[in-house]
Chains A and B, each alone.
Chain A
Amino acid sequence: MTSFPEAARIALGDSQLRHNLRNATTTIRNKRARVVAEVPDWEELREAGRTIKAEVMRRLDECLLQFEESVQAAGGQVHWARDAAEANAIVLDVARAHDASEVVKVKSLTTDEIGLNEALAAGGVHAIETDFAELILQLDGDWPSHILVPAIHRNRSEIRDLFMRTIGDGRELSDDPRELADTARLYLREKFLDAKVGVSGANFGVAETGTVVVVESEGNGRMCTTLPPVLVTVLGIEKLVPTFADLEVFLQLLPRSSTGERMNPYTSLWTGVTVGDGPQEFHVVLLDNGRTRVLSDEVGRQALHCIRCSACLNVCPVYTRTGGHAYGSVYPGPIGAILTPQLRGVAKAKSLPYASSLCGACYEVCPVKIDIPSVLLHLRAQTEKDVAERIAMRSLARIFGNARLYEWAQRLARAGERPARRVPGPLATWTQTRELKPFAKETFREWWSRERGA
């Protein structure tokens, strides 16, 4: 993948993107702060969220088996997928078994992660994204830039032009968001009513009951999980919670942290198949795709606690400037910086653990208290150090450890100071954007020995 610094440089040059991002992240951040402040037991809820997730990870094998049994008992079918290819093949098989050339799909990071749409397309099945923002991106061949508002980098006139070119049915459209939303409603309604197969991700799966939970705003999630006769849900194995009652914690934490609402407009919970209500054939695909690798690292494991609220993106001084594309993954921002390298292997995304100033704002807002800064440091320790940096650090350590050597180095630095104030060689990048401060004419140690010295 392109390294974070390279990708970020391109993003930082896009002033429209930076303007949109600043607007969006500030607005959502303030909304979140308002509704979180309303909750007197917010810290207790966070602690409950953290400890429940830690408990799930510790007993994940049991929870998975219990979930499988519960879904099957309720008339659902459970599939297991070690990687993206296996998961995609399962979904494609279901679509083919029902002769579906189209499936309707709810926005889902997990299915983006495994490239499901592309895999289905290769198999002759078109996946229609039904979330408003995802539809915009799909129609334009673009990529999400924010977990929660994926098309935040596009403005209304761009969306109007796009709709007139694609789904507008030849009508003249204004750039009024109401009219644009109605255009999408009209276009997708027919798709929903006729769909044979629906595909979703999920926010939670309940081990105790086999219940699957989808949290959303627009109603496209309800449409996709209710109207088609067949439903396939792709569930990352880390999304389980032990009991049904545990949802009372997460359904308070998630909406307030995510959209800054007390509760999102729609939350759907279903368990297997219900006669006379909704899909009569239900498949759930339990996906590993690197998650057991993350699980095996006791420090890094907490990245799996993430409930995908995106609060950490909106407070991050790095994300709010670069946006999501620079992270080169469907999981951007601080959580992406710890999740992506672990899912793929640190060697494949070694610049990401450095895409942070370690300010800790992400940890403070995280609804399940993931200590992102500590995991970042933990991952940095696993990346290979630059040889020059290693030699420099070792020499510095020696100089700082010896008073005479230290004084000698200070004099040498002053003597060697050049008017250009740029450091040559491998450290040049440091001074590309910074002025090197001139050394003091007299060091503190020299002053001390002159004034007070014996």
Chain B
Amino acid sequence: MNEARDEILARTRAAIRESTPPDPVARAYRTRGLLDDPGRVALLGERLLDYRARVENTTAAALRDLLDEIARGGRIGVPRGLPETWRPASSVEDDGLSTYELDALDGVVTGCTVAIAETGTLVLAGGEMEGRRALTLVPDVHICVVRTDQIVETVPEAFAALLGFEHRPLTLVSGPSATSDIELERVEGVHGPRTLIVVILKEAG
């Protein structure tokens, strides 16, 4: 279809040839937040609750017990690079599970790359502790562990943190999946995980 390509490019060039140069791009918006560390953590929790995610605060020492309590013995998928202490007792490692095998899991535990407090957003970047996209999509419960040092306040700060990850598959998750298509009544959970549990891990590292 080189003919189509050439023609579209020619039409585009003809269309803009005579144009006056546009105003320079204006970037006067905020690129940094103002909150301190505890303020950011609190805001993230608040915004996630607003989207009806469940939020737990814990420490590294108590993490394993909390995850076991949430998992209740269910089969929980985990990405290969997830640390031992982040795995509930009943975890199943994703060594290339089929979509039907993923569908049979009760849930999944992952980390994230960055979290945005202002919008209540988790960013998954396909890293060792996040796994491939299908892993956090097909199972019905997503448990995401967020370290406090991964939390930024604003969207531009998150994009700055994603420099170098542009070519990875990225998923921004803000609450469980939802629809408001029937008379605008919000229903949580259509195709993505119907339950999102965010575990905020107090100590860094």
Q: Which residues of A contact B (CB under 8 A)?
A: 20, 23-24, 27-28, 40-41, 44-45, 47-48, 51-52, 54-55, 57-61, 64-65, 74, 79-82, 86, 90, 130-133, 136, 149-152, 155-156, 159, 177-178, 180-181, 184-185, 188-189, 192-193, 206, 209, 211, 217-220, 222-223, 226-227, 237, 244-245, 247-249, 251-252, 255, 259, 261-272, 274, 276-278, 286, 288, 292-293, 295-296, 298
Contact = CB atoms under 8 A, between A and B. Distances in A.
Binding site of B, secondary structure by majority: helix, strand, loop or mixed?
loop
Nearest to A28: B184
Contacts of A271: 166-169
Q: Report the interface size class on chain B.
A: 35 or more
Given A57-B16, A57-B19, 10 more contacts: A51-B25, A58-B19, A74-B167, A132-B182, A206-B166, A219-B192, A244-B162, A251-B172, A255-B119, A263-B119
A220 B190 contact: yes
B131 to A, nearest CB: 9
A169 B51 CA distance: 32
B133 A61 contact: no
5 contacts: A58-B19, A82-B4, A263-B174, A268-B169, A288-B8
Interface stretch (B26-34, B57-65, B67-75, B106-114): B26-34
B134 A226 contact: yes
Interface in B149-176: 155-156, 158-160, 162, 166-176
Contact of B190 (A132, A136, A151): A132
A222 B4 contact: no
A267 B172 contact: yes
A171 to B, nearest CB: 18
Contact of B166 (A58, A185, A244): A244
A185 B126 CA distance: 25
A223 B181 contact: no
A44 B154 CA distance: 15
Contact of A54 (B1, B23, B158, B189): B23
Contacts of A184: 190
Nearest to A81: B4
A261 B126 CA distance: 25
B19 A41 contact: no
Contact of A151 (B126, B132, B181): B181
B183 interface: yes
Contacts, number: 246
A48 B27 contact: yes
B158 to A, nearest CB: 8
B9 A44 contact: no
Contacts of B24: 51
Nearest to A42: B29
Given A54-B22, A218-B192, A209 B171 contact: no
B77 to A, nearest CB: 15
Contacts of B21: 58
B178 A178 contact: no
A265 B52 CA distance: 11
A177 B19 contact: no
B190 A226 contact: no
Given A185-B191, A227-B99, A264-B174, A82 B28 contact: no
Contacts of B26: 44, 47-48, 51
Contacts of A193: 99-100, 103, 138
Contacts of B27: 48
A61 to B, nearest CB: 5
B126 to A, nearest CB: 6
A17 to B, nearest CB: 13
B84 interface: no
B187 interface: yes
Contacts of B169: 268-271, 274, 277-278
A274 B168 contact: yes
Contacts of A278: 132-134, 169
Contacts of B174: 261-266
A181 B187 contact: yes
B33 to A, nearest CB: 11
A48 B16 contact: no
B197 interface: no
Contacts of A251: 155, 172
Contacts of B144: none
B171 A222 contact: yes
B170 A268 contact: yes
Given A177-B182, A220-B191, A277-B126, A80 B15 contact: no
